[in-house]
C-alpha cells in the first residue's frame, strides 16, 4: 500500500525472511517427529521398526516451491511497480494461476498418497 519502492523492497525481504523462518520450524519439527515414529516398534510385527510412507516426506519440498513461487511474483511486482504501463491485474492473474496450480498439485499428491495400493512391505 505504500508508494515508496524502498519500503516495498524491505517488506519483500521481511516476507522472505518470515517464509524461511516458518519453513525451518516446520521442517525441523516434521523430520524430528518422523524419526521418532520410525524408531518405534511396529505393533503388528514385533522386532520390526515402523515405516512412514515415502510420499509423506516427498510432499514438503513441492509445498515449499509453491509457497516460494508467490514471493517470486511479488518480487517482479515490486521491481516493475514504477515502470510505465504497469498493470496490477497482470500480477493478480499470476497469483490466481499459482493458487490454482498449487492447490491442484497438492490435491493430486493427497489423492495419490491415500488411494495407492499398499506395498507388500507395509502389510
At 35-93, the pLDDT tens digits run 888 888 777 777 778 777 777 777 788 888 888 899 999 899 888 888 888 888 999 99
Report yes or no: 23 and 64 within 8 Å, Cβ to Cβ.
Answer: yes
Is the pLDDT at 115 greater than 80, yes or no? no
Give me the sign of the Cα torsion angle 46, 28, 61, 91.
positive
Q: How far apart are CA 117 and CA 27, in angstroms?
A: 27
Question: What is the model's pLDDT at position 17?
Answer: 94
pLDDT tens-place string over residues 89-102: 999 999 999 999 98
Phi-psi region of 42 (alpha: psi -120 to 50; beta: other; left: phi over 0): beta
Q: Where are the domains of the chain?
A: 5-115
Amino acid at each position: 500500500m505504500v508508494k515508496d519502492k524502498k519500503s516495498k523492497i524491505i517488506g519483500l525481504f521481511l516476507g522472505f525472511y518470515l517464509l524461511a523462518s516458518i519453513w525451518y520450524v516446520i521442517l525441523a519439527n516434521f523430520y524430528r517427529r518422523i524419526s521418532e515414529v520410525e524408531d518405534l516398534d511396529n505393533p503388528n510385527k514385533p522386532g520390526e521398526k515402523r515405516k512412514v510412507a515415502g510420499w509423506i516426506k516427498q510432499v514438503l519440498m513441492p509445498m515449499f516451491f509453491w509457497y516460494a513461487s508467490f514471493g517470486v511474483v511479488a518480487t517482479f511486482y515490486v521491481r516493475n511497480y514504477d515502470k510505465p504501463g504497469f498493470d496490477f491485474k497482470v500480477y493478480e492473474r499470476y497469483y490466481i494461476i499459482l493458487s490454482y496450480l498449487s492447490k491442484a498439485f497438492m490435491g493430486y499428491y493427497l489423492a495419490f498418497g491415500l488411494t495407492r495400493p499398499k506395498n507388500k512391505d507395509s502389510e
